[in-house]
Amino acid sequence: MRYVTTCLSDICTSVCTRGIVAVGLGLVMTCSAYAEDITVSEKAFSCLSEGTKIRNTYIKHADPEKLKEAVRIFKNSVPDKEYPVGTFLQLLPDEAMVKHPRAKFPDTNGWEFFALDLSEQGTKIKTRGDKVVNFQGVQCFSCHQPAAKFDFVCEKGHGCAPVPLDDPKIAELQEADPRCRKK
């Protein structure tokens, strides 16, 4: 009887140990998915022209190497390539999209959309997430979905419907960013 009890005890210990190891690995994998994530606050948004401008879009990233990669992807319209986590993209001063790990916003491949209130004092976040409504009154992602091949980043020729603004109007709105010091 003692032998049976000892064997059962050993089996239980082995099963429990493996279960704990499996749970621990699951937690490590989950945490590592979010480990490279960034925190986005109102302070992360500043004068639009402080970013790198490619055609009509401003790109920002705190890491110079990742900024270089994001600029390369955007500039060359690289298909089937994800932008680095931490990439900020803005066409208009009061709207933005920021790249997080895919697991954070799985439906948008990690992109979080922002509607912003702007003033000379800075930026206030009106709404944020993967269901934000844009200046046209539709969810941002509904316009970005056709650009899946380009990590949901819209630009002329990426499958997205064009914004109802021509280049001069976009430039006018960008230049009117109240957060930028007037020269």
> How do the domains of the chain map onto residue ranges?
1-35, 42-175
pLDDT at 165 over 70: yes
Task: Name the nearest CA neighbour of 105 among 35, 12, 34, 178.
Answer: 34
Contact by Cβ (8 Å): 154, 143: yes
Per-residue model confidence as pLDDT tens digits over 23-77: 343 434 443 444 589 999 999 999 999 999 999 999 999 999 999 999 999 999 9
pLDDT at 169 over 80: yes
What pLDDT was estimated at residue 15?
45
Q: Would you state the structure tokens that stand for residue 62, as one six-digit string?
A: 């705190």
What pLDDT was estimated at residue 14?
53
How many residues can be counted in the chain? 183
Q: Whole-prediction pTM value? A: 0.78
Contact by Cβ (8 Å): 56, 46: no
Average pLDDT over residues 71-97: 96
The string of DSSP codes covering 17-32 is HHHHHHHHHHHHHHHH
What pLDDT was estimated at residue 29?
41
pLDDT at 16 over 70: no
